[in-house]
């Protein structure tokens, strides 16, 4: 009875989403207020029923109702309760329901926040969100019903994939989906603008906080995924260019470009059609990611349910939603006129370069991700496209981007003297390069070309991000930085931290794979590892071999690590649980692999300098985004509607433009 209640809620949600898709849009073209006013109640109702369906599914998991196929396949009565709950999104059907819930949540938030916007505009935005939502909900209901009963039913479930039985998995998917799905909001704004054939700076001002919000969740989601992969499957790696990872990274790159392009559109009323294109593309890449992950068109280490019928449905959805938007773009984009121009040396130029480089990176990574598909269709040579390709095509545009970033932040809008900019930034640049040359010798005793390039870029980005606040500190007359400007500085500082950490950890990690037995001692990057003991332990739903390895440095005790090799009997899966001694400056990671006979075990030992800052950098970026998204000018609906020209920053302070930042 309870599962049917969930199913019924889902059906009602579909009905409401169809209303939300059709009626307000129809109203906006016929000028009927009554139809337009249906958008908000429909959005609220949809949220209630999707929420109910989700709650029902969670309840079914917590009460071990194995008569429901999805619960049967992804849970087990021995599973700890917390994981029973997260198992809701441990499989395809539940993931989709989570997707829908996130979308309903974003839609509800937009419905609330858009009360100050013109009814015609907000009803178009909600209508477009309704189309997306009905597509996803229908997809769930027709091809991937999580409430499907299984008869005759089993008294015990198949258990959750042990890979997903992990605290990281509790937060990673919801964060990622919040970001992924959040891209539907700028998409809906863009399509609404195209439908109206009109786009002004207010549009950019409305769109910006939503975009930054979705972007920051996506940033956190990707960082969490990377962290999870690092300690759960990675044996020390933190990014694998796996198709599923790329599926989340591509929208992120596009969203980053969009955030910057929106800054120009809001500030200067130019780049309009480009901004709209980015908004549509970012969400298209989100949908594409869903398609790639869910259809199994490209095999990946993350194996999810593969089903061609589902693949066809999502492809159809992609064509309907993104294809429709792109066709609309082709018809209407020409009518979005620029309100001015700019000079080659100006904030606009730097942001344009930012956009071009990010789009190039996106395109090349997309190409690599889809390469297996092209190989089949075009009989291309079977080249294995892996990490070297992706690292190359990513770094090629990103290093220049890092260099330009420092300049762009300090360039004035419209026009600026290039010589002045260079003069102002010469010393920070010189200091960054000098530090990059010297620091590695001090800390690691060696250096290399790529390390210098990476470090110089990272230090330069981090350093230049704080020139602006520092300048204010020593200049009493300067205008206070707005919250958005702080956000920009902090997010860019995070980028710098990330680049430094990524450079150091890829340049100076030490990786060892040894066959070791009890009593054996060996060295890892200045640490002594002492294999003390191997024992057998029993967990709630697994048994494990656990090694006890003591880590010492110069004879002094550092930590005791207990890596495990777990055997989950229900799924017949063996998992490696690595053990990590972490401090901010380095990780020592040990993973127990296989028994190699005679009491010896294959042990993976890793020394990873600065690896924590890879994720800390991402968190700093997201924090910057949070500040920028909550800037007070997004919370003044009255003024927004009046649409006055921006007043701040009329007179740039010497050396540092007073404009709000290009984030």
Partner 1 sequence: MSSNRANAWRFAIPAIVLGVLAAFFLRGLMLDPAYYESPLVCQAAPEFSLPDLADASRRVGTADFAGRTVLLNVWNSWCAPCREEHPFLLELAASGVPIYGINWDDERDKALAWLHTAGNPFVASAVDEVGEVAVAYGVYGYPETFLIDGDGTILVKHFGPLTPEDWSGKMLPAMEAECAVD
Q: Where along the sequence are the contacts to partner 1 (CB under 8 A)?
A: 69, 72-73, 150, 152, 154, 158, 273, 277, 280-281, 284, 288, 291, 295-299, 306, 308, 311-312, 315, 318-319, 322-323, 326-327, 329-331, 333-334, 370, 373-374, 376-377, 572
Q: 510 or 573: whose CB is closer to partner 1?
A: 573
Up-side HSE of residue 660: CA atoms within 13 Å toward CB? 25
CA distance 354 to 256: 9
Q: 376 or 513: whose CB is closer to partner 1?
A: 376
Point out which residues pair with 574 in neighbouring strands. 567
We find the least distance from the C-beta atom of residue 359 to partner 1, in angstroms, to be 11
What number of other Cβ atoms are within 10 A of residue 269's Cβ?
18
- Per-residue three-class SS string for 166-182: CHHHHHHHHHHHHHHHH
We find the least distance from the C-beta atom of residue 315 to partner 1, in angstroms, to be 5
The DSSP bridge pattern shows strands 600-609 and 510-516 to be antiparallel
We find the least distance from the C-beta atom of residue 378 to partner 1, in angstroms, to be 9
Q: 273 or 564: whose CB is closer to partner 1?
A: 273
We find the least distance from the C-beta atom of residue 304 to partner 1, in angstroms, to be 12
We find the least distance from the C-beta atom of residue 326 to partner 1, in angstroms, to be 4
We find the least distance from the C-beta atom of residue 557 to partner 1, in angstroms, to be 42
CB of 590 closer than 8 Å to CB of 572: no
Element (H, E) at 593: strand 586-597
Q: 253 or 277: whose CB is closer to partner 1?
A: 277
Return the structure tokens found at 78. 């021995």
- Per-residue three-class SS string for 413-446: CCCCCHHHHHHHHHHHHHHHHHHHHHHHHHHHCC
We find the least distance from the C-beta atom of residue 76 to partner 1, in angstroms, to be 12
CA distance 361 to 400: 12
We find the least distance from the C-beta atom of residue 145 to partner 1, in angstroms, to be 13
Q: Phi then psi for 532, rounded to 5 degrees? A: -80, -50
Element (H, E) at 575: strand 573-577
What number of other Cβ atoms are within 10 A of residue 52's Cβ?
17
CA distance 375 to 409: 42
Q: 114 or 161: whose CB is closer to partner 1?
A: 161
CA distance 32 to 20: 15
With both helix axes pointing from N to C terminus, report the angle between 167-182 and 201-232 in degrees, rounded to the nearest 10: 160
Q: 195 or 488: whose CB is closer to partner 1?
A: 195
Q: 59 or 326: whose CB is closer to partner 1?
A: 326
Q: 324 or 637: whose CB is closer to partner 1?
A: 324
We find the least distance from the C-beta atom of residue 69 to partner 1, in angstroms, to be 6
């Amino acid at each position: 009875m309870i599962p049917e209640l969930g199913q019924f809620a889902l059906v009602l949600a579909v009905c409401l989403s169809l209303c939300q898709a059709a009626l307000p849009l129809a109203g906006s073209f016929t000028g009927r207020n009554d139809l337009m006013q249906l958008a908000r109640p429909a959005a609220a109702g949809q949220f209630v029923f999707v929420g109910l369906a989700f709650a029902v599914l969670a309840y079914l998991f917590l009460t071990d109702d194995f008569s429901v196929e999805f619960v049967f396949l992804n849970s087990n009565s021995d599973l700890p309760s917390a994981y029973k709950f997260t198992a809701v999104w441990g499989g395809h059907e539940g993931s989709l329901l989570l997707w829908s819930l996130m979308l309903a949540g974003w839609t509800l938030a937009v419905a609330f926040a858009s009360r100050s916007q013109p009814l015609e505009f907000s009803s178009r935005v909600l209508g477009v969100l309704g189309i997306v939502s009905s597509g996803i909900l229908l997809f769930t209901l027709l091809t991937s019903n999580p409430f499907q009963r299984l008869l005759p039913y089993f008294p015990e479930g198949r258990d959750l994939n042990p890979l997903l039985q992990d605290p990281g998995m509790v937060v990673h998917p919801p964060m990622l989906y919040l970001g992924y799905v959040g891209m539907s909001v700028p998409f809906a704004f863009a399509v609404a603008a195209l439908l109206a054939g009109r786009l002004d700076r207010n549009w950019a001002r409305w769109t910006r906080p939503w975009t930054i919000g979705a972007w920051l969740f996506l940033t956190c989601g990707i960082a969490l995924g990377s962290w999870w992969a690092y300690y759960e499957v990675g044996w020390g790696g933190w990014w694998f260019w796996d198709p599923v990872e790329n599926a989340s990274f591509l929208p992120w790159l596009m969203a980053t470009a969009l955030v910057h392009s929106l800054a120009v559109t809001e500030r200067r009323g130019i780049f309009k059609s480009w901004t709209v294109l980015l908004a549509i593309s970012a969400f298209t890449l989100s949908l594409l990611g869903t398609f790639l992950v869910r259809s199994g068109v490209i095999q990946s280490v993350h194996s999810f349910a593969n089903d061609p019928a589902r693949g066809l449905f999502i492809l159809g959805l992609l064509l309907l939603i993104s294809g429709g938007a792109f066709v609309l773009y082709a018809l209407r984009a020409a009518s979005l006129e620029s309100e001015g121009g700019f000079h080659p040396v100006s904030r606009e130029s730097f942001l344009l370069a930012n956009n071009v480089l990010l789009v190039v990176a996106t395109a090349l990574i997309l190409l690599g991700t889809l390469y297996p598909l092209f190989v089949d269709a075009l009989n291309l040579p079977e080249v294995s496209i892996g990490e070297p390709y992706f690292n190359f095509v990513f770094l090629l545009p990103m290093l220049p981007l890092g260099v330009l970033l420092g300049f762009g932040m300090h360039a004035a809008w419209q026009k600026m003297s290039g010589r002045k900019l260079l003069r102002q930034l010469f010393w920070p640049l010189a200091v960054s390069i000098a530090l990059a040359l010297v620091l590695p010798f001090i800390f690691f005793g060696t250096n290399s070309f790529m390390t210098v390039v990476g470090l110089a870029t990272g230090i330069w980005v981090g350093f230049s991000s704080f020139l602006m606040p520092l300048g204010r500190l020593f200049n009493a007359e300067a205008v206070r930085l707005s919250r958005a400007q702080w956000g920009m500085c902090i997010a860019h500082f995070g980028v710098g931290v990330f680049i430094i950490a990524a450079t150091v950890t890829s340049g100076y990690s030490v990786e060892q794979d040894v066959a070791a037995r009890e009593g054996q001692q060996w060295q890892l990057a200045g640490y002594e590892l002492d294999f003390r003991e191997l024992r057998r332990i029993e967990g709630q739903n697994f048994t494990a071999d656990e090694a006890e390895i003591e880590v010492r440095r110069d004879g002094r005790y550092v930590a005791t690590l207990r890596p495990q090799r777990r055997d989950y009997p229900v799924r017949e899966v063996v998992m490696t649980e690595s053990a990590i001694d972490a401090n901010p400056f380095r990780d020592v990671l040990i993973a127990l692999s296989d028994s190699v006979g005679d009491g010896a075990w294959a042990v993976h030992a890793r020394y990873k300098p600065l690896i924590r800052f890879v994720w800390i950098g991402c968190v700093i970026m997201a924090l910057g985004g949070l500040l920028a998204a909550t800037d007070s000018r997004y919370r003044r609906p009255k003024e927004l509607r009046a649409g006055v020209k921006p007043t701040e920053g009329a007179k740039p302070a010497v050396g540092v433009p007073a404009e709000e930042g290009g984030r």
